[in-house]
Amino acid sequence: MELEQVVHSPEAQRQLYKRSLLVVIMSQIFGGAGLAAGVTVGALLAKEMLGGESYAGVPAALFTLGSALAAFLVGRISQKSGRRNGLSLGFIAGGIGAIGVILAATMDNVFLLFVSLFIYGAGTSTNLQARYAGTDLANEKQRATAISIAMVSTTFGAVAGPNLVEPMGEVALALGIPALAGPFILAAVAYLLAGLTFLVFLRPDPFLVAKAIAAEQEKQELEKKDARKVVEHKANRAGVLAGAAVLILSHFVMVAVMTMTPVHMQNHGNGLSAVGMVIGFHIAAMYLPSLGTGILVDKLGRTFMVIASGITLSIAGLMAAFAPTESLFWLTFALILLGLGWNFGLISGTAIIIDSTDIKTRAKTQGSVDVWVAISGTAGSLLSGIIVANSSYAILGFVGMYLSLLLIPVIIWVHVRGRSKEAVKTVT
């Protein structure tokens, strides 16, 4: 199927849209398994190699910092040469980073561990940016649903990953590798497969097709001297800022609480299987409800679901703070709500970003926003370790609750501002 053929055929565009979603689904299954390794055992590996809880947030900080750089580069590459090149390179880099973590754990080399975790972060941000690939040919009423299909696909790998911690640890021991490095074996294979899936199957590139369609439409509009339509396609700066705020705040809260949960559990006598189960439920809640969330975002609106995100995350933080240390049930429930609130924020915030951007700058803007999302994750990871080391896990829960509530006034302000502008337009 040639690019020119797709540009001039609505039916070919619909077929490519469906095919692109299938490719995204396949890659996200692999990508989900890859990101689960760092989430589940990264903090424990750092604690073992470096000693002390103050360092437990370092791995998540490093791979989220690495993901910030990768988000910027993947966004720029995607804008220039398409999703296929940007996403495949990002996943392959993540796979190489996972291999480096395995070598660092085997050699007990802290410097190599830090460098490898930084590179491993490329897989995390690429896994997030892959959600955009299914939206390039979607119309406004399909965008949140398309995002949700990509997100729910991640569930299969992301839930399996934490529950394979012990089996992969046994595989690692059999190979003469420390047990905590075992999940990174899975991550390396998963990320490399995700990258190859995009490289081989995402043809023609849906983003390049969308750019060509937009260029053709603009050409036709200019020929008709319909300048009004051309102006209407400009990016909405307020919308981009609002979407970015939603993504950044929800991600910060989720990463901060999630990062310290395995350490909190281990300190109260829970083994790796219990940690894997809780994180597995958490990651399931992050991705599994996506299809329903996408439909709700398209039907009920972006603002409604952002408010739902703030409320759900604040309840999760409060519950984590008050959950009895001996109660696995309540801690699991808190982490499920944490994942669900993040899911609401991610899909609604992403939809706002797409609605507010033009195809000429969309991938670049998406990458830039994801840089700040990754930086917020880095800050959340580092601060979570410091907060728990100097106070308690409960205090961390309270901090998460207060920050989550900020989402509500932010989105209401933007919503009211947007309606005021519409009213002015109507009057004039």
Helix (H) or strand (E) holding 8: none
- Three-state SS string over 204-234 comes to CCHHHHHHHHHHHHHHHHHHCCCHHHHHHCC
CA end-to-end distance (rounded Å), the chain = 47
pLDDT at 88: 95
Give residue 56's pLDDT band: very low, low, confident or very high (50, 70, 90).
Answer: low
Q: Which two tokens stand for residue 313?
A: 């995350």
Q: What average pLDDT does range 4-29 have in this prediction?
A: 85
Q: Which of 6-15, 19-28, 166-175, 180-189 has the lowest mean pLDDT?
A: 6-15
pLDDT value at position 40? 66
Average pLDDT, the chain: 83
- In this prediction, residue 422 carries a pLDDT of 47
For position 196, what pLDDT does the model report?
95
- Residue 1, CA distances (Å) to 209, 324, 402 in order: 11, 58, 51
Among the ranges given (44-48, 72-76, 118-122, 277-281), the one the predictor scored with the smallest mean pLDDT: 44-48
Conformational region of residue 51, where left means phi above 0, alpha means psi within -120 to 50, and beta covers everything else: left
Largest CA distance in the chain: 74
Percent of the chain with pLDDT over 70: 87
Which two tokens mark 46? 């750092």
**How far, in Å, CA of 224 to CA of 205, rounded?**
29
Q: pLDDT digits over 236-249, tens only?
A: 788 888 999 999 99
Contacts 24+ apart (CB under 8 A), 6-9: 6/204, 6/209, 7/209, 7/212, 7/213, 7/216, 8/216
pLDDT at 37 over 70: no
Mean pLDDT value of segment 79-108: 92
Q: What is the pLDDT of residues 147-169, one digit of tens each?
A: 888 888 877 777 676 677 778 88
The tokens for 144 are: 């949140």
pLDDT in tens, 306-336: 999 999 999 999 998 888 767 788 889 999 9
Q: Give the HSE-up count for residue 193: Cα atoms under 13 Å, Cβ half-sphere.
A: 17
Number of structural domains found in the chain: 1
What is the pLDDT at residue 420? Answer: 53
Which one-letter amino acid corresponds to residue 90? Answer: G
Q: What's the confidence (pLDDT) of residue 223?
A: 66
Q: How confident is the model at residue 52 (pLDDT cuts 50, 70, 90)?
A: low
pTM (predicted TM-score): 0.77
51: CATH = 1.20.1250.20
CB neighbours of 383 closer than 8 A, spacing ≥ 6?
57, 256
Question: For residues 201 and 2, what is the distance between their CA atoms, to the nearest angstrom?
Answer: 14
Average pLDDT over residues 291-306: 91
Residue 96 domain boundaries: 3-427
pLDDT score of 339: 94
